[in-house]
Structure 1
């Protein structure tokens, strides 16, 4: 698990984080989407019109204001450092503009979203994604060295209402050992599917699980913990996680720090 203080951003970053004392959390209240009628639950989104790589609508407006919008929000999108798709020609992923972010949140029912806070929400969103990709690159380093080809992000899925097995286990352990493991559950979860090249040059899809935890504010800025690891759904991923765990235990036994996961 890696700790990421938001105030560690580069000095030239334009947007600033909210300065509230309220602990950091996902800006979207996903509980509002739960259907409370007796009818069978179903997704209100037409999936035929969704981009399969992002689970977002193809036609999400980048420039149009929402009804009643008072502030002019930036419409420019920022390029990430994350390679997109399965070919170099696909370029990199683009982050949503503040206007797109507001449009998406209003579309999902969050009409009371403070317009002035949206640029900071986008900034935190981008910052955490970059941090998650850095952690994935650490896991993928040996495969990149073997193949000579860098990994790429194929697609991602947000699963905010689903605790990962590890997050669930930590919550259980918190009930038994609250002084060591006690704490709130992650405020968000993503599953990222990464394209990996093996030593023979063959392509393989690897799923990563990312749990996002809120930390205590520092210097008026929020802090976050990212738990990034390959999902235990393949022999290679089980081996990678076992090797990292055994290496960490061995280094601690020898009195070395070791990388935290």
Structure 2
């Protein structure tokens, strides 16, 4: 079955300062990390729309009709503030839409939600992703930490699959390539933890109302997901394809 997938996030602008003696100048570059995930899902026949991070504040869907264009919404390395603070709210102090509340209601009515890890996912770097105190938190299959939840694994660590037969893993077999970090979370009651990393949930899924939600607590692209994982391993498309297909019911 073809699913319509919205991926929000997975882009950024990097700025560098070059200092040469008494002189300096800055350069900027726009970078996307979505391509491994987009290619994986499109290779399984799904329709993927990417909403870059800089467009999320103005364009993220804010009601059931707008969300209804999709079967699955993926939030990847995009913080709660970017979704909640539309320009009219943040810049003009004009009341707007509680878009995370709308997303939670959409999941409860039958939608599929996947959160992928990163510095601006879950609680995130210095707590800046900030999903713990939002309406969306209760729709996730995991409890978020109140503090910076990143776990860096510079030497790499391999996932331990705990439910290989679950449809959300897409039939992947064998050892997974090493990952370099993840966001630490705690599984809720009645959540199925399908894979762990360093003893913590890596892939977890649950129902929420009439819908479903899932997390992949490491990254879908570098740096936590190095090339052997996200570009060279055929299991990558199976895992993320399986998650999307399970979420789309």
TM-score, L = length of structure 1: 0.23
Higher strand share: 2
Instruction: Kindly indicate whether structure 1 or structure 2 has the higher relative contact order, using CA contacts under 8 Å at least 6 residues apart.
Output: 1
Higher helix share: 1
Q: Is the radius of gyration larger for structure 1 or structure 2?
A: 1
TM-score, L = length of structure 2: 0.24
